[in-house]
């Protein structure tokens, strides 16, 4: 795991997105018999640009290993993030700022943003790509 100043932590069963630092208090939780909880830790990156966005790609939350669905993340010009993701479902990203646009495979797509930076995008399987799709988030343009 990266040595970051801040992490976005996704709790699978409760569907909570928490922000934590190495100085944060431990997460308190209780497991009932025959139950489980999965935690996905994503390091937060500051995108340097006009807007100053804190960003952490969490992954496809409908998968058991949602963080494993992130194939590549590329930051461009301080105003754009390009991600490659393997699979289909609900992509969760922490974004401190609401993006102006979201493109999936080059086409404008709708997204939900709110609840403390929780950004959700629905993505579908693209057989022509065999294993991934490309999402671009534009903050200034």
Region of 89 (left: φ > 0; alpha: ψ -120 to 50; beta: rest) is: left
The pLDDT of residue 131 = 46
- Report pLDDT digits (tens) over 37-58: 999 999 999 987 666 889 999 9
Residues of the chain with pLDDT under 70: 1-2, 49-51, 126-141
Question: Which residues face 63 on adjacent strands?
Answer: none
Domain segments of the chain as ranges = 7-22+35-138
The pLDDT of residue 134 = 59
The pLDDT of residue 129 = 47
Provide the 10 A C-beta neighbour count for residue 122. 13
Residue 126 main-chain phi, psi, to 5 deg: -115, 100
Give the burial class of 87: count Cβ atoms within 10 A of its Cβ; 0-12 exposed, 13-18 middle, 19 or more buried: buried
Hey, CA dihedral for 10, 80, 90, 114, is it positive or negative? positive
DSSP string, 27-82: PP--PPTT----EEEEE-EEE-SSS-EEEEEEEETTSTTGGGGEEEEEEETTTEEE
Is residue 118 within 8 A of residue 94, CB to CB? The reply is yes
The pLDDT of residue 133 = 53
Provide the 10 A C-beta neighbour count for residue 58. 23
């Amino acid at each position: 795991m990266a040595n970051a100043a801040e992490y976005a932590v996704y709790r699978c069963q409760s569907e909570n997105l928490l922000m934590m630092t190495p100085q944060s208090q431990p997460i308190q939780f209780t497991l009932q018999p025959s139950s489980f909880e999965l935690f996905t830790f994503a390091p937060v990156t500051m995108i340097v640009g006009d807007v100053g966005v804190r960003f952490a790609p969490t992954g496809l939350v409908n998968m058991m290993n949602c963080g494993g669905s992130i194939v590549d993340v590329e930051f461009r010009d301080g105003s754009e993030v390009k991600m490659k993701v393997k699979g289909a479902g609900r992509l969760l990203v922490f974004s401190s700022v609401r993006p102006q646009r979201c493109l999936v495979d080059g086409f404008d797509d709708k997204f939900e943003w709110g609840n403390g930076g929780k950004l959700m995008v629905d993505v579908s399987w693209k057989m022509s790509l065999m294993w991934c799709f490309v999402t671009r988030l534009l903050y200034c343009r």
